Amino acid sequence: MNRTVAALILSSCVTACGGGGGGSGSTPAPEPPASNPDLEPTTLVLLDSVPGPGVTNVEPGQLTSSFAHRGYSDLSLELSSDCSGFVGTTIRRDLFDLSVADFDQLLDHKIKCNLEESSSYTITAIGTRSNDGEFTSELVISSGVTNPAGLTVINEFIQPRDTVNDMFIGYIDGAFFEDLDLPSGIESLVRGLVLEIAEANWGNLVDPDALYDVTSQRVSYLSRHP
């Protein structure tokens, strides 16, 4: 009788304790809820991209680009594009500040492809989670035209050497007397003497005379962002 009661008490304790286990191991992430296969893939918003949104004049040729968005550790991804020579890879970084939704990774896609002139291309990342939920993200790139010249000269004028020399002497003259802040009467008396001394000693310091005429140009060029 006593043995039977003791066995029942021991069995109750084991059941109440959950059958043992214990330990301080981390709790595994819960499985995502079941997905509705009839729904369209969920779009993952871009956090960053190169080129940026709205850029329409990307230089043609081989492009190295990237785009990033939040994602999940169980998200299996495939990258694709309609540009030639496409190569892509994905860098995953764990997120520890889960203040928004249930994202646990940052996915950064690095891609290379060849762009033709005046064309539009789409780089797509599409993936599926363990619950068969589908997600997608994409980067649209529009190329401009090749500009072989690089710079287009709109206007040009040449300053002769003598003019450049006069401009230099005038600058030194003005800067010197502006710093002295002399009364106008005294300034006119010492100006000639100071310039004469400066002219006589330039050769011991630096050659103030221009070696060539100076050409100034107003130009235009094709730029891109970034």
In order of their start, the domains of the chain are 42-142 (2.60.40.10), 151-221 (no CATH)
Q: CB–CB of 30/130 below 8 Å?
A: no
Give the global pTM: 0.53
**Higher pLDDT, residue 28 or 197:** 197
Tens digits of residue pLDDT in 117-160: 999 999 999 999 999 999 999 999 999 887 656 678 888 888 88
Dihedral sign (CA 199, 200, 204, 209): positive
According to DSSP, the residues that pair with 139 across neighbouring strands are: 123
One-letter amino acid for residue 37 of the chain: P
Largest CA distance in the chain: 131
Tens digits of residue pLDDT in 46-77: 999 999 887 888 888 888 999 999 999 999 99
**Higher pLDDT, residue 184 or 211:** 211
Q: Residue 37, preceding bond cis, omega within 30 degrees?
A: no
Tokens 């550790």 locate to 73
Dihedral sign (CA 148, 152, 157, 159): negative
Output the pLDDT for position 25: 42
- Residue 4: Cβ-neighbour burial (10 angstroms; 0-12, 13-18, 19+): exposed
Q: CB–CB of 59/223 below 8 Å?
A: no
Q: What percent of the chain has pLDDT over 70?
A: 63
Q: CB–CB of 146/117 below 8 Å?
A: yes
CA–CA–CA angle 202, 204, 208 (5° rounding): 30
**Higher pLDDT, residue 185 or 153:** 153
Output the pLDDT for position 124: 96
